[in-house]
């Protein structure tokens, strides 16, 4: 068996749609949001420079020059209505599967992370086609793609994924917990990423009045996830379901699904063929999520998966004396952004920081092991 490979399982890419509108699009509204501008900042891009050509060249450069063995670039299907009708106009951003295949032609480090909406009437045929084209997983963001995880079509889709890779499971990378990077065009679906719903959330939701979120069908979601896992699916629950901004006393003000995610990983550990429930550590290198590192270590080592959520902000939580001096010198010269945005390749920074946080941990090669199953 070859040496284990380090694979970043969670890398986002995208296009404005000015040159290759068939491969993806950011809506005009999304381009004006602070979230998009922060992503550009961390990619070292100026807003007035951004176009499809620059985004594609920057993506290829960052991936091809990083020290990782492979990265999974993620497509993102548009919104689909329950009747199976595609609704691109309801999507603030989407990324075609074909764009990921194009990126593969430019750098061998790209692995194909497909996205196929479970409401699509051609779900199974599309998944089969992408498997034949090398897809290593399927990505869903339930809020942004307006997917109800308790829906019967979701149950059917997840069970299909249990054998979609020529009889073997094709992993599902499923966003769980608060979502800020891929906003929904329908505020009611903001809660589609949640596995739980507390009395506090029910109360807070009442005060949203005309902007209330849908109440998740917690039992239906659980039934669907268990049915898929017992059928032999591989489900990776992104971000361990953790809050992004809330920790300590403020944790009560932001949704957390960590306890549920941990329970799923304990109840459905990896089998010989890789099937089971996992959690990824993407978007973890922030001062707030750092406070949860000890909690995350309580998840079985074999069930944690390495990822970055690039271009989500990454902070240098652990620095050497030399790095601190370089940062200080840069600030003294007027480059204040240096203390916020790392200068190095962000994929490498994320890897280096997590290596410091989880030394000797198997999470960095666990997805490679999944692919061998």
Q: What pLDDT is attached to residue 343?
A: 83
Rounded to whole angstroms, how far apart are CA atoms 157 and 162?
A: 9
Tokens of 149: 């995880």
Rounded distance between C-alpha atoms, residue 141 and residue 118, angstroms: 11
Do strands 24-26 and 7-12 pair parallel, antiparallel, or not at all (unpaired)?
unpaired
CA 149 to each of CA 13, 83, 164: distance values in angstroms, whole numbers, following the listed order: 24, 16, 19
Rounded CA gap, 86 and 88, in Å? 6
Cβ 58 vs Cβ 69: under 8 Å = no
Per this entry, what is the length of the chain? 373
Query: What is the rounded distance in angstroms from the CA atom of residue 131 to the CA atom of residue 149?
Result: 23
Q: List, in order, residues 6 or more apart from 353 with CB less than 8 Å away.
A: 285, 314, 315, 316, 317, 318
Taking the C-alpha atoms of residue 187 and residue 203, their distance in angstroms, rounded to an integer, is: 17
Q: Please give the C-alpha separations between residue 95 and each of 39, 139, 145, 178, in angstroms, as whole numbers.
A: 16, 11, 12, 21
- What pLDDT, on a 0 to 100 scale, did the predictor assign at position 331? 46
Q: How far apart are CA 10 and CA 187, in angstroms?
A: 25
Omega before residue 311 within 30° of 0, cis: yes
- The span from the CA of 18 to the CA of 24, in Å, is 9
Entry pTM: 0.95
Reading across the β-sheet that carries 234-238, which strands appear in turn?
7-12, 70-74, 110-114, 135-140, 172-175, 234-238, 276-280, 304-305
Largest CA distance in the chain: 59
**Do the Cβ atoms of 161 and 233 come closer than 8 Å?**
yes
The rounded distance, in Å, linking the Cα atoms of 115 and 154 is: 14
Q: What span, in angstroms and rounded, lies between the C-alpha atoms of 216 and 243?
A: 17
Residue 93's H or E segment, with its range, is strand 93-95
The pLDDT averaged over each successive group of 10 residues in the chain (373 residues) is 86 97 97 94 90 98 98 98 97 98 98 98 98 98 98 98 98 96 96 96 92 97 98 98 80 87 98 96 94 96 98 83 59 55 92 96 97 90
CATH number (3.10.20.740, 1.20.58.220, 3.10.20.30, 3.20.20.140) of 7-317+348-372 reads 3.20.20.140
DSSP 193: G
363, two tokens: 């999470």
Dihedral pair phi/psi, residue 7, rounded to 5°: -125, 125
Are the C-beta atoms of 329 and 338 separated by less than 8 Å? no
């Amino acid at each position: 068996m070859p040496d284990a490979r380090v694979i970043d399982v969670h890398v986002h890419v995208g296009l404005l749609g000015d040159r290759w509108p068939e491969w993806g699009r950011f809506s005009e509204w999304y381009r004006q949001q602070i979230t998009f501008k922060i992503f550009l900042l961390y990619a070292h891009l100026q807003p007035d420079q951004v176009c499809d050509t620059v985004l594609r060249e920057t993506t290829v450069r960052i991936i091809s020059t990083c020290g990782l063995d492979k990265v999974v670039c993620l497509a993102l299907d548009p919104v689909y209505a329950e009747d199976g009708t595609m609704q691109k106009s309801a999507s603030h951003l989407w990324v075609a599967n074909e764009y990921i295949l194009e990126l593969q032609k430019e750098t061998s480090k790209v692995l194909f992370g497909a996205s196929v909406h479970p409401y699509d009437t051609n779900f199974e045929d599309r998944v089969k086609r992408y498997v034949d084209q090398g897809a290593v997983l399927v990505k869903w963001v339930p809020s942004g793609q307006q997917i109800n995880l308790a829906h019967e079509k979701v149950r059917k889709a997840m069970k299909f994924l249990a054998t979609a890779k020529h009889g073997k499971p094709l992993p599902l990378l499923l966003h769980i917990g608060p979502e800020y990077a891929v906003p929904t065009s329908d505020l009611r679906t903001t809660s589609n990423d949640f596995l739980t719903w507390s009395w506090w959330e029910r109360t807070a939701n009442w005060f949203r009045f005309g902007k209330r979120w849908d109440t998740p069908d917690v039992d239906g979601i659980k039934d669907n996830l268990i049915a898929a896992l017992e059928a032999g699916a591989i489900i990776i629950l992104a971000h361990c379901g953790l809050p992004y901004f809330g920790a300590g006393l403020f944790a009560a003000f932001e949704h957390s699904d960590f306890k549920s995610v941990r329970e799923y990983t304990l109840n459905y550990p990896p089998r010989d063929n890789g099937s089971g429930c996992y959690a990824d550590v993407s978007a973890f290198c922030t001062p707030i999520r750092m406070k949860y590192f000890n909690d995350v270590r309580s998840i079985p080592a074999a069930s944690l998966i390495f990822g970055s959520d690039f271009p989500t902000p990454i902070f240098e939580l652990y620095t050497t004396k030399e790095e601190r001096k370089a940062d200080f010198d840069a600030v003294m010269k007027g480059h204040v952004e240096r203390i916020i945005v790392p200068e190095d390749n962000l994929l490498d920074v994320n890897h280096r920081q997590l290596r410091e946080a989880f030394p000797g941990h198997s999470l960095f090669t666990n997805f490679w092991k999944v692919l061998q199953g």
